[in-house]
Structure 1
């Protein structure tokens, strides 16, 4: 005659099959969600075939009409140049009371070394490598450290560029 299994074995078997069933369901759901995400990704990243618009070049937008994009070489050459020396007793030929020396160039972040050519910006007193600041000043009219405006006193400010209206016609592919 067969005896019925003890109640503990029965409960353990039920719990085992319940856990096994939950794991199988979670595994199947993970496969379904992974495929759904891959589908959504492919739908969102499809490139719509739209004709490219005609690109019309126009001058860059400037927010400050008082400053030109850079200084002329003749203006840059008026700023004093000198050789750097770590010896304080050497005469550098520039009034050192007006200089604000940090020991490094704020443009290239290089440390000043003996006998390098430096340039002093007279309006603010900041000092930079001559080559670095010359390149900067050809593109900007301000000190790279404090943003002091370095324009000559006789500069005509307030000139605004002419207003240009540009109409861009973009065809959406439907013939409209």
Structure 2
């Protein structure tokens, strides 16, 4: 019996490592297939998810926004020098620029976006608006009315919010 015990142990070890290798190979194949889209359903292939945060996923629907605003349009948005007393004027000022996250300082040049009323450092928001046609804070579309109808409809998003905090109930 002592001769059979090491042989059985040896065979069990071989079987274990073969099964482990097969499982590892299958796991790697599923990762490769998912990256190349083989396991995605037709619905998932039509909508590519944009991960906003771990709890919010946004799916772009159909059309796309234009890439940015022309400098002639950007220059039509009003600029002014910041003063602490401006916060009482009804403008939507948080006291910091949502583009660079810098705090507004006295006499800095700020730009007001007329469609939504948000305010940013002029230098920061000008760069942003050259690449995007939306407010960096609220994503309001900043195209002039005649331009937005010529360009086509804006991108719509279907937003899925996961309210599960990780605890199973």
Matches for 1:44-55 after TM superposition, within 5 Å:
45=28
Instruction: Give the structure 2 partner of residue 133 of structure 1.
Output: 125
Of 138, 146, 149, which residue of structure 2 is paired with 1:146? 138
SS of corresponding position for 2:89: helix
Compute the displacement of 1:116 (Å).
2.7
Q: Partner residue of 2:21?
A: 38
Gaps of 5+ in 1: 1-20, 48-60, 161-176
- C-alpha distance in 2, partners of 1:159/1:153? 10
**Pairing of 1:1-176 with structure 2 (within 5 A):** 29=12, 32-42=15-25, 45=28, 63-64=62-63, 67-86=65-84, 88=85, 97-155=89-147, 157-159=149-151
CA RMSD of aligned residues (A): 3.6
Deviation at 1:29, TM superposition (A): 4.9
Q: TM-score, normalised by structure 2?
A: 0.52
What is the distance in 1 between the residues matched to 2:131 and 2:62? 16
**Separation (CA, whole Å) in 1 of partners of 2:14 and 2:94:** 61
Partner of 1:51: none
Q: Which has the larger helix fraction?
A: 2
| CA distance in 2: counterparts of 1:28 and 1:85, whole angstroms | 81
Corresponding residue number in structure 2 for 1:168:
none
TM-score, length of structure 1 as denominator length: 0.50
Larger Rg: 1
Residue 162 of structure 2 is matched in structure 1 by none
> Is contact 2:92-2:117 (8 Å) kept?
yes
| Counterparts in 2 of 1:159 and 1:105: CA distance versus 1, 3 Å | closer
Shift of 1:101: 0.4
Distance 2:145 2:79 in 1: 20
Give the paired residue count: 117
Specify the SS of the correspondent of 1:155: helix
Counterparts of 2:135 and 2:25 in 1: how far apart (Å)?
A: 49
> Matches of 1:33 and 1:141 in 2, distance apart?
59
Return the offset for 1:73: 0.5
| CA deviation after TM superposition for structure 1 residue 85, in Å | 3.1
* Structure with a larger share of its residues in strand: 2
